[in-house]
Amino acid sequence: MPRRSPATLALAGSFAVAALALTACGARVDSSLRQQAANQALGSNGGGTADGSTGSGSTGSSGSTSGTGSTGTGSTGTTGSTSGTGSSGSTGSTGSTKGTGASSTTGAPAPAGGNGGATDVGVTANSITVGLVADSSGPVPGLFRGAFVGAQAYFAKINSQGGIYGRQLKIDFGDSQLDCGQNKSATQARVGKVFAFVGDFSLNDDCGEQVLAQHPEVPNVSNALGPKTAALPQTFSTAPLGNGWRTGPLAYYAKTYGAKWQHIGAIYAGVGTGPNVWSNTVKAINHSGGKVVHQESYGATDTDFTGAIIRMKSDGVQMTYINTTDGATTARFVNAAKAQNVNWPLIFGATAYDSNFLQQAGSNANGVINDQQFAMFFNADEAARNPAVKDFQKWMNYVNSDQTKDIFASYGWTSAELFVDALKKAGPKATRKSLFAALRTFTNYDSGGMLAPANPAQKKPAACWLLTKVVNGKFVRQSPSPSSGFYCQGASYYPPVG
């Protein structure tokens, strides 16, 4: 897998995060392979279908899904069931699992004068088909499966409300299998027949970029990992990439921990974008008045951080701030720290908010601090106060209750929501041109409260954040509290985003 450039840095703590410990469908994979794949995503903000042994099926608004074939994929429909065989599946008029929905958006009825019928590629009088390419099978089965299920869940809700202007929303899914060639071929197979791409998530999306760049008329409403894909004029991300790190949490820690902020220790992923992400973070820490006195990289096979903790003690570390890890690595680090009787603050930039972290760290998780730029999407109490999270959990359970509610599902959901919001603005006689015009109006978008507000139209990342702490084995919101929103006072990036 190719290394990612510094353009993928800003989302490190938000995304790759959950990939590393993902255990979707109960699949068991060599831990080093999972770590390597996930570390490649570090620095990203972050599908798949229900997989067969080596193939994958797809989804609709009701029914069941199946997948067969070496690389086969089915697509989404509105009723019935669909299966995929061969190198790539085709879009079915009758679908498989349950459809999609939105957090605050509702469907739009067909106008009295009709919706114009087949107004563009992938559009008929009663349906709109989009493409979605994600790493679902391959060396790390289920890695980004959540991205597909999240988009699926959003469309399910909208379809249950009658769709958009009388059209049901369908997904033609392509499994990129953690492979550059598969990503390119899956994109190529769909670019000429889908209305847009929505919710793509692949470590090799810059391979598909070669196809998209030749088709600037095709919208791509996805959280791109590759810098080339992210830079395409047709790409609109709900969590755009940036080259720095958010300063709000760092200023908070400097004020809260005083002199300890001058004695920071950290580990960081030594592969993929990990070193670049951490380098940018150190610059932002220095800008906040902090100082990192001990830092060391770790590799895919490193699972015992006892030595790192001992070396940190020797160098006078008084607190840690870590953002290039995943839930499993975070848990191992915390467990090693507690075993060495460490009582300094253990702080993570989004990487601790992972249900796997809570399971693997157990009681050692208590007291861990975490700052993040997405809502607490798997917390029941967050769902009680945040309608967007409530809808996300409800429709994820409806579509596939076995799928982990991870950050990738959250991004699939929010990409689908941005697409639907723009589709409604584009009007009943939808065209790619009118969709582009609508997408360019979204300069302050928070997906109904699922994400800190960002600027998809101008590719500017979010700067707002929220703070959580593990109390009695549960992530508890600390600030802003008890609001379900994000803390935006003084929020910025370093270096500044133009």
Digit-coded pLDDT (tens) for 167-195: 999 999 999 999 999 999 999 999 999 99
Statement to judge: residues 87 and 114 lie in one domain: yes
pLDDT greater than 70 at residue 146: yes
In percent, the amount of the chain with pLDDT more than 90 equals: 65
Q: How far is CA 179 from CA 137, 202, 378, 440, in A?
A: 10, 9, 30, 31
b/e code 275-300 from CB counts within 10 Å (16+ = b): bbbbebbbebbeebebebebbeebeb
Statement to judge: residues 89 and 212 lie in one domain: yes
The per-residue pLDDT for 97 is 32
Statement to judge: residues 168 and 308 lie in one domain: no
Statement to judge: residues 350 and 477 lie in one domain: yes
If pLDDT is split at 50, 70 and 90, which confidence band does 106 have? confident
Question: Which residues does 61 contact at the CB level (< 8 Å), separation at least 6?
Answer: 77, 78, 79, 95, 98, 99, 100, 155, 156, 159, 160, 168
Task: Tell me whether strands 319-322 and 264-269 are parallel, antiparallel or unpaired.
Answer: parallel
Identify the burial level of 306 via C-beta atoms within 10 angstroms of its C-beta, where 0-12 means exposed, 13-18 middle and 19 or more buried. middle
Residue 94, φ and ψ in degrees, nearest 5: -125, 135
Statement to judge: residues 95 and 169 lie in one domain: yes
In percent, the amount of the chain with pLDDT more than 70 equals: 78
Statement to judge: residues 137 and 169 lie in one domain: yes
Question: Which residues does 468 contact at the CB level (< 8 Å), separation at least 6?
Answer: 353, 369, 370, 371, 372, 376, 475, 476, 477, 478
SS (H, E, C) 119-180: CCCCECCCEEEEEEEECCCCCCCCCCHHHHHHHHHHHHHHHHCCCECCEEEEEEEEECCCCH
pLDDT in tens, 360-376: 999 999 999 999 999 99
Question: Which residues does 19 contact at the CB level (< 8 Å), separation at least 6?
Answer: 37, 38, 41, 46, 143, 144, 326, 406, 408
Statement to judge: residues 125 and 173 lie in one domain: yes
The per-residue pLDDT for 401 is 95
Statement to judge: residues 250 and 229 lie in one domain: no
pLDDT greater than 50 at residue 145: yes
The average pLDDT across 79-91 equals 33
Q: How far is CA 284 from CA 290, 312, 452, 495, in A?
A: 9, 21, 19, 7
Q: Is residue 486 part of a domain?
A: yes
Q: At what angle do helices 306-314 and 327-339 cross, to 10 degrees?
A: 60
Q: Is residue 88 part of a domain?
A: yes
pLDDT greater than 50 at residue 32: no
The C-alpha atoms of residue 37 and residue 149 are separated, in whole angstroms, by: 20
The per-residue pLDDT for 83 is 33
Statement to judge: residues 196 and 54 lie in one domain: yes
Residue 155, φ and ψ in degrees, nearest 5: -65, -35
Determine the distance from the C-alpha atom of residue 63 to the mean position of all C-alpha atoms in its chain, rounded to a whole number. 26
pLDDT in tens, 206-258: 999 999 999 999 999 999 988 899 999 999 999 998 788 999 999 999 999 99
The per-residue pLDDT for 16 is 41
Greater confidence (144 vs 61) lies with 144
The average pLDDT across 400-406 equals 92
Look up the CATH number of the domain holding residue 413: 3.40.50.2300
Statement to judge: residues 128 and 200 lie in one domain: yes
If pLDDT is split at 50, 70 and 90, which confidence band does 325 have? confident
Output the six-digit token pair for 24: 């979707």
Q: Is residue 378 part of a domain?
A: no
pLDDT in tens, 109-126: 888 889 999 999 999 999
Q: Is residue 339 part of a domain?
A: yes
Q: What's the structural domain count of the chain?
A: 2
Q: Is residue 23 part of a domain?
A: no
**Average pLDDT score, the chain:** 82
Query: Are 273 and 236 in contact, with CB atoms under 8 Å apart?
Result: no
Identify the burial level of 108 via C-beta atoms within 10 angstroms of its C-beta, where 0-12 means exposed, 13-18 middle and 19 or more buried. buried
Q: Is residue 377 part of a domain?
A: no
Statement to judge: residues 347 and 207 lie in one domain: no
Q: Is residue 194 part of a domain?
A: yes
The per-residue pLDDT for 56 is 35
Query: Are 96 and 63 in contact, with CB atoms under 8 Å apart?
Result: yes
pLDDT greater than 80 at residue 39: no
The C-alpha atoms of residue 439 and residue 220 are separated, in whole angstroms, by: 10
Query: Are 354 and 327 in contact, with CB atoms under 8 Å apart?
Result: yes
Statement to judge: residues 362 and 438 lie in one domain: no
If pLDDT is split at 50, 70 and 90, which confidence band does 289 have? very high
Range of the domain at 335: 245-372+463-494
Neighbour tally for 236: CB within 10 Å: 28
Nearest by Cα to 237 from 407, 46, 18, 390 = 46
Query: Are 171 and 58 in contact, with CB atoms under 8 Å apart?
Result: yes
pLDDT greater than 60 at residue 42: no
The per-residue pLDDT for 328 is 87
The C-alpha atoms of residue 40 and residue 134 are separated, in whole angstroms, by: 15
The per-residue pLDDT for 498 is 61
The per-residue pLDDT for 132 is 98
The per-residue pLDDT for 109 is 87
The per-residue pLDDT for 105 is 64
pLDDT greater than 70 at residue 27: no
The average pLDDT across 449-462 equals 95
| One-letter amino acid for residue 388 of the chain | A
- State the distance between the two ends of the chain, measured CA to CA, in whole angstroms: 30
The average pLDDT across 309-322 equals 98
Greater confidence (79 vs 299) lies with 299
Alpha-carbon Rg for the chain, nearest whole angstrom, is 21
Q: Is residue 405 part of a domain?
A: yes
